[in-house]
Each structure stands twice: as structure tokens, then as C-alpha cells.
Structure 1
Amino acid sequence: MSVEALPTTAQVARDRTIERWRRRSRVIRVLRVLGPASIAAILLGLVVSVALNAIKPTAEPSQESNQPIRLIKPHFQGRDGRGRAFVVTAITATRDPQEYQKVYLDHPDLVTDIQGPDPTHITSRSGIFHENTGVLEASGDVRMADSKGVFQTEASVFDTKTGQLSGSGPVHGQGALGQIDATSYGVYDKGDQMEFHGRVHTVLNPKQKPAGR
């Protein structure tokens, strides 16, 4: 009967080391094969991505920066050439995206000399207010009212700096003294001076006599 010698501890360790080296060698051989293939695949993917981006239609730039600015219940305040305060309000206001100082108003309401004893109201269906010049272009059922009377027309231009109001369309005015109609007009110095032109027609109210006479 033969007896096989058992491996020593040193032999076992050596065999394990050899086995590890063999496994590592196999891994290295696999990497040598797959490495270049992986690099080629990555490069191919980059080339395809660049090509797709080159032929993909370019999206149009966002237009949000050019969208008009819309204000709810705006208030524009200032003073005229004599230091009298005025205020312009509206239901809504929309700034012109191309001209920031130009504001489109929905049902504007201009009040001049708001701190004085006889403020003037100018209202209309629509209007354009130029903040840099203080000019209000009112259109559609324009109405100017103060303690002296009421004037109605379809279009007016009011300069808040000088207090001048002018228009080239028909105007109808009514006050304590009577009525007046004309085809064009001008109101200056907050109503202290008025000029009417073209087919001027007036109706004066008779002066009332004091009671008892």
C-alpha cells in the first residue's frame, strides 16, 4: 500500500498564488480585446450624436422677452408745468414691447389738478399714454367734465404738462350758460380758454331773473 504525501502549507499558498495569476491573466486578455471595442463604440456614439444635432431643426428663440407687459388697475402720477398734480388710471394697461414709454389703456380716467378746488375728469373707452411726454391720446366716447360743464367728442389729445386739450372731430358741450357744437376745438389752461372752429352753433340759456323782480 502506497501513501501519498500531503501538501505542505507552502505548496498550498503557492498553488493559490498561481491560480490568482491565471485568473488575472484571463481578465487582462479579455480587457485587451474588449477595451478597443468599447472605445470604438463610445467614439461611434459621439459621432452619431453630433450628426443628429447637426441635422436637427433649431428651435426658434423664445419670444417671452418680447411679450407686452400688462398691468391691472394702473396708476400714473405726475405734475403739470404749474406743479399741479394729475393721475391717470385705467382698468388695464399694456406696455408696447417695442416702445416701453408707450402704454395702451383700457377705459382711461385722467384727473387733473386733483388737489385743487375744481379738478377736471377726462374719460374714454381707450387711450394711449406716453409717459415720457405726459400726452394722453383718448379715443371713443371722450368726455371732459368739470364744474363749468361737460364736453363730449370721439377723439382728443391732452397734454398733462401744459393742460391743453385738442381734437379735430365734432364736439358737443353743455354747461350752465348753454350748449355749443363745433367740428374742432381746443381747450387751454385747464379750461380757462376755449376755442371752437367749423360750423359753430351755440344755444344760450336765458339769464334767470332774481325772484321777486
Structure 2
Amino acid sequence: MSAVAHPHAGPSRRPDFLRWRRRSRLIRLLRLVLPLGIGLIFATLVGFVVHGTISGGPVRPDQADTPIRLVNFRLVGRDDRGRPFVLTADSATRDKQDYQRIHLVRPSLLIDSESPRPTRLSAKTGVMQEDTGKLQLDGGVTLNGTDLAVATDSSVYDTLTGVLQGEGDIAGRTALGDVNAKSYGVYDEGERMIFRGGVRGRIESK
């Protein structure tokens, strides 16, 4: 007994078979590639973690609390009588223990800066107390004005009242002559200057 042939069975199934074979190959390829890709990503993440640990890891609390430091510091203000002043410094750093304290390197204070006869106060170091307005200057303090030149160890300027006081071995030169003392004070917007403590001077005749 002879079999009945189906002329369209072979050709119609062959494209389906080819598609199935290609899909099967793709699936086998993906089963191989995907685990490799996942392993590569995991290895990369582990590498980043190890590198971060070796190079220092996360920021430590003491690093996070590093004080704020400004270079070429500049502060402009006025005292209670309206006299302007300009405070500059090579750098300014806030105190970690007292946020109101600013440590200054080579501060320079220009008092009555808009006047034709301003006064300049300079030092090696300084501390600005923002809550009280007091500026403490130390180390090689010099005070220079039109008819005034004073050198001392330490001075304090009150940015609120405009009063300037200094102490230490003071050597000064005024319009009247040379003077030596242990302390000095400048009051009344610079109109009155007082020397105290072992005052010695030489008045020059004009």
C-alpha cells in the first residue's frame, strides 16, 4: 500500500525549523554571555570597593569637621559712629571649637578707610571674635597714620566702638616726637591718644 505524499508539508515547515534553530543558538549564546557579563560587573564593583578601602575609604569625622579656611580674606564694616574699616588677611580660618573665632594670618586693618587720613594696623597673626567685634593682633604689631607710627607686641581694636588699645614694649613716633611706654590707647575717632606705663619721650622743637 503506497503512502500519500503531502507536497506542501516539507517546504512550509523548513522556515519554522530554521527560525527555531537560530533562536535556540541565540538562547545558548545568551546563557553563556549573561553570566559572564554579570560576573564582570560584580568583579568591577568589588574592585572599586577594594580601591576605596586602600586609598582611604570614606571621609572620617575629623576630616568632615575640617575648619573653613579662606584665602585673601576681606571684611568691610563700620563702627558705631559710622567710620568705615577694612580688614584683610592672607588667610582666615574658623576655630573648630568656637565658630565665632576667626584666626588670621598677616592681618591688616585700615581704620577710617574713606578718610583722607586713614590709619593702618598690621600684625603677623590675629583673632577676630565676631560676636564681640574684638580684633586681637599679635606679633610685630605696627600702627601707621599721617603723623603717627607705633610698634608694639599686641593690640586690640574694637570694631564696634572704634577704640584701639595696645600693650607691650611700645616705641612710637608722633607729631610731637618720640615716645616709649608699656601701653597705649586711641580714643575719640583717633583724636586722643594716651600712653601709659613708664612713659619716656622726647619732644622735638619746631
Q: With structure 1 as the length reference, what TM-score do the two structures score?
A: 0.66
CA RMSD in angstroms, aligned pairs only:
1.7
Partner of 1:91: 90
What amino acid is the match of 1:140?
G
Write the distance in 2 (CA, Å) between the matches of 1:132 and 1:75: 18
Runs of 4+ in 1 over 3 A off after TM superposition: none
Partner of 1:181: 180
Q: Once the 2 structures are TM-superposed, how far is the Cα of residue 61 of structure 1 from its aligned partner? A: 5.2
Write the distance in 2 (CA, Å) between the matches of 1:195 and 1:151: 12
Q: Once the 2 structures are TM-superposed, how far is the Cα of residue 167 of structure 1 from its aligned partner? A: 2.3
Structure 1 stretches of 5 or more lacking a match?
Answer: 1-58, 208-213
Q: How does 1:1-213 map to 2 (within 5 A)?
A: 62-207=61-206
Write the distance in 1 (CA, Å) between the matches of 2:122 and 2:149: 11
Contact 2:124 2:141 (8 Å CA) reproduced: yes
Write the distance in 2 (CA, Å) between the matches of 1:138 and 1:198: 20
Q: Once the 2 structures are TM-superposed, how far is the Cα of residue 60 of structure 1 from its aligned partner? A: 9.9
What amino acid is the match of 1:63?
D
Please give the per-residue CA displacement for 1:146-191, whole angstroms capped at 9, x wherever unaligned.
1121111000111111111112312111133211111122111232
Contact 1:68 1:94 (8 Å CA) reproduced: yes
Tell me the secondary structure at the aligned position of residue 83 of structure 1.
coil
What amino acid is the match of 1:87?
V
Contact 1:141 1:153 (8 Å CA) reproduced: yes
Please give the per-residue CA displacement for 1:116-139, whole angstroms capped at 9, x wherever unaligned.
121110000000011222211000
Write the distance in 2 (CA, Å) between the matches of 1:64 and 1:104: 19
Contact 1:106 1:127 (8 Å CA) reproduced: yes
Cα distance change of structure 1 residues 60 and 161 upon mapping to structure 2, 3 Å threshold: closer
Structure 2 stretches of 5 or more lacking a match?
Answer: 1-57
Write the distance in 1 (CA, Å) between the matches of 2:79 and 2:173: 26
Contact 1:108 1:127 (8 Å CA) reproduced: yes
Write the distance in 2 (CA, Å) between the matches of 1:75 and 1:99: 20
Contact 2:76 2:85 (8 Å CA) reproduced: yes
Please give the per-residue CA displacement for 1:20-78, whole angstroms capped at 9, x wherever unaligned.
xxxxxxxxxxxxxxxxxxxxxxxxxxxxxxxxxxxxxxx99522232111110011111
Write the distance in 1 (CA, Å) between the matches of 2:174 and 2:166: 19
Aligned residue pairs, count: 149
**Higher mean Cα deviation, 62-71 or 107-116?**
62-71
Contact 2:138 2:154 (8 Å CA) reproduced: yes
Higher gyration radius (CA): 1
Tell me the secondary structure at the aligned position of residue 74 of structure 1.
strand
Write the distance in 2 (CA, Å) between the matches of 1:203 and 1:191: 21
Q: With structure 2 as the length reference, what TM-score do the two structures score?
A: 0.68
Write the distance in 1 (CA, Å) between the matches of 2:186 and 2:113: 18
Write the distance in 1 (CA, Å) between the matches of 2:82 and 2:129: 19
Contact 1:162 1:189 (8 Å CA) reproduced: no
Query: What is the aligned-residue identity percentage?
Result: 42
